[in-house]
Structure 1
Amino acid sequence: MNPNLLKQLAIVVKQGSLSRACEQLYITQPTLTRSIQQLEIKVGAPVLVRTRYGVQPTEIGARLAQIGERILVETEQGEEAIRQFHSGYCNEFVIGIDPLWEFATVEQTTSYFMQEKHYVFHFRTASAAPQIELLQKGELDFLLAPAHLSVKQGSLDRQLLFRDRSAIFVGKKSALIGSNNVISQDILEKQRWIAAGANAGFLDRPSEIIGLKAASMAFTGSIRSVLHLLNTSDVLVRLPARLALMTGEVSVDQIIQVAGPQGPRRDIALWTRLDNLERPESPLCQDSCRLICYYK
């Protein structure tokens, strides 16, 4: 079977329209129609049906479109590998990064890795929960994420890189900002709370902070909205203290002291698959990450 037919089908299914697919493929609609007809002759059944909302795949069409999508991805990866080869690069590392880590260390991280002349570094920023799944599937080489995650770790190696604890930050419009007093739970329960790092390893149990008080909003994936609210409102949020301060978007006087023990640990670790440690290039990436953390 001509793989181009499957690639074209995948684009049609993704776009939901023959005309939009033609725009992406830079071909005419009669040409694309003939390609779909060739595929249907091969299958012996329709792969697309027209609806009031555009075209939809049949059951076999959806299966073939999934294969076409994989072919598209692998084709793009092959073209990128060729470009890297002609540019003199030996290999590529795919590294997942926690959003707060990226925001706080982007200048140091990028300036360091830009000096490496033999390898390409592909960074993916997202919360830890989906990224740890990509790591387990082999779609990431390394992951910089919270050290304490509730995930199966049998096939993973974890190396602690950056020590931190969570602290409660208050917005710049909060009456609690700059307070030197220990804030009681009664006062905390009257404040407006948001949660950062939901499903990412940074979210504390509500009972550890403010009893049964619920956060009015929760943010997963991006840290920019959380930092914006800390600069423009009176909300309270618990964040990794050291890393949050490194962003330059919040200050020490926004951290309040509360009754009870210190905040729980929110260390950052370098995660990888155990079988990935056998790659000869792996020590390079591990040493680079350690060096970046050393200067924090």
Structure 2
Amino acid sequence: MNPNLLKQLAIVVKQGSISRASEHLYVTQPTLTRSIKQLEAKVGAPLLTRSRYGVEPTEIGARLARIGERILAESDHGDEVIRQWHSGYHQEFVIGIDPLWEFAAVEEMTSALLQESRYVFHLRTASAATQIQLLQAGELDFLISHAHLSVSQGRLNRDILFRDRTGVFAGRKSKLVSTHTQIDANQLAEHNWMIAGASAGFLDTQENLTAPLPARMALTGSIHSVLHLLNTTDLLVRLPARLTLMTGQVSPEQLLEVDGQPGPRRDLALWSRIDREERPEMVKVRHIISELLRQLDRDKPTYGLSL
């Protein structure tokens, strides 16, 4: 099958219009229509249907358009690789990073990576649950994320390099802020909670945090909204305490001293695939990232946490 036909179909579906797609592709409408009919002849069924809003894909049209989108993405990536090669860069590395780590340490990480002039780096932020799958599938070269993940780790290497544990934070408007005595679980249960990064493995189960009351808000993905809410509401949330305080967006007074055992550990690890570890360029980049995490672990304050 001609991949160009699939790429054209993907653009038609994305634009929702033959005319807009033809403008995007710099071809005439009759030319693009012939391409779609050629693809329909091979399939033996319509790929598009007309609606009052333009064109929409049929079931088989949508499936083929998704393939076309992947071809487009790979084609764009190929163009970028060529530009990198002409600029003298030897290789691109894709590094997954935890959203809170990005907020707390992206400046230091960027500085460390840019000292290596031979490579191009693509930093990708998402939940640990999502990125560990990408690492296993070979779509990431490295992942900086929680050290303790409930995933199959047979083909993965894990180096724990940055110490942390969870703590309970109160929004600036909470009456618990600046409390200088230990707070027991009954007091915590009287307040409104939010859950941050639940699908990423940030937290204990909700029952362990807020019983008998359910959390009023749950956020996954970006950490920016969580930090904003900590500055504008009275909500409570459990987060990796050291990283949260490293962002500079939350004050140490908002970290509550809770009676009982300290929060569970949330150390950070550098994850990689075992089958790629021996390549010299992988060894070099692994060393850069590992040294950065170790240095930050040594240099950054522990904020009184038992680490």
TM-score by length of 1: 0.94
Cα displacement (A) at 1:122: 0.5
- 1:286 aligned partner: 286
Q: What is the match of residue 116 of structure 1?
A: 116
Alignment CA distance shift 1:195-1:23 (3 Å): farther
What is aligned with 2:33? 33
Aligned to 2:74: 74
In structure 1, the partner of 2:299 is none
Tell me which amino acid in the other structure corresponds to 2:140: L
For the residue of structure 2 that corresponds to 1:71, the secondary structure is: helix
Q: Supply the distance in 2 between the matched residues of 1:213 and 1:282 (Cα, whole angstroms).
A: 48
Superposition map of 1:196-211 within 5 A: 196-211=196-211
Letter in structure 1 aligned against 2:69: E
Q: Which letter does structure 1 place at the counterpart of 2:25?
A: L
The answer to whether structure 1 residue 225 and structure 2 residue 225 are counterparts is yes
Percent identity, aligned pairs only? 64
1:120 Cα deviation after fit:
0.5
Q: Distance in 2 between matches of 1:230 and 1:185?
A: 20
Relative to structure 1, is the Cα distance of residues 193 and 38 closer, same or farther in structure 2, using a 3 angstrom cutoff? same
What displacement does 1:173 show? 1.2
Corresponding letter in the other structure for 1:78: G
TM-score (norm 2): 0.91
Measured against aligned partners, the alpha-carbon deviations of 1:176-226 in whole angstroms (never above 9, x if no partner) come to: 111111112221111111111111110212333332221111111110111
Partner of 2:19: 19
CA positional deviation for 1:59: 4.1
- Number of the residue aligned with 1:172: 172
Matched-pair contact (CA < 8 Å) for 1:163–1:266? yes
- 2:172 aligned counterpart, secondary structure: coil
Q: Is the aligned partner of 1:128 residue 2:128?
A: yes
Conservation of the 8 A alpha-carbon contact between 1:206 and 1:213: no
- Which residue of structure 1 lines up, in the alignment, with residue 216 of structure 2? 216
State the distance in 1 between where 2:291 and 2:172 align. 34
Q: Is the 8 A contact 2:193 2:210 kept in 1?
A: no
Letter of the aligned partner of 1:95 in structure 2?
Answer: I
Which structure 1 segments of 5+ residues have no match?
A: none
| Counterpart contact for 1:89–1:118, Cα < 8 Å | yes
What residue in structure 1 maps to residue 305 of structure 2? none
Matches within 5 A, 1:121-200: 121-200=121-200
How far, CA to CA, are the matches of 1:111 and 1:193 in structure 2?
36
Q: SS in structure 1 opposite 2:234?
A: coil
Bigger Cα displacement from structure 2, 16-25 vs 97-106: 16-25
Residues 3/260 of structure 1: CA separation in 2 closer, same or farther (3 Å cut): same
Structure 2: distance between partners of 1:26 and 1:215: 52
> What is the alpha-carbon distance in structure 1 between the residues aligned to residue 33 and residue 175 of structure 2?
65
Q: Please tell me the residue identity of whatever aligns with 1:113.
A: L
Letter of the structure 1 residue corresponding to residue 146 of structure 2 = P
More off after superposition, 44-53 vs 142-151 = 44-53
- Number of paired residues? 296
CA deviation map 1:27-54 (0-9, x unaligned) = 3322311221222234443222223453
CA contact (8 A) 2:178 2:254 kept: yes
Deviation of 1:95 after TM superposition, in Å, equals 0.6
Q: Any conservation in 1 of the 2:165–2:241 contact (CA below 8 Å)? A: yes
CA, structure 1 residues 197+60, in 2 after alignment: closer, same or farther (shift >3 Å)?
closer
Which 4+ runs in 1 deviate beyond 6 A?
A: none
Runs of 5+ consecutive residues of structure 2 not aligned to the other structure: 297-307
Partner of 2:117, secondary structure, is coil
- From the superposition, tell whether residues 216 and 24 of structure 1 become closer, same or farther in structure 2 (CA, over 3 Å): farther
How far apart, in 1, do the equivalents of 2:106 and 2:45 lie?
52
SS across alignment from 1:278: coil
Q: 1:253 to 1:60 in 2, by over 3 A?
A: closer
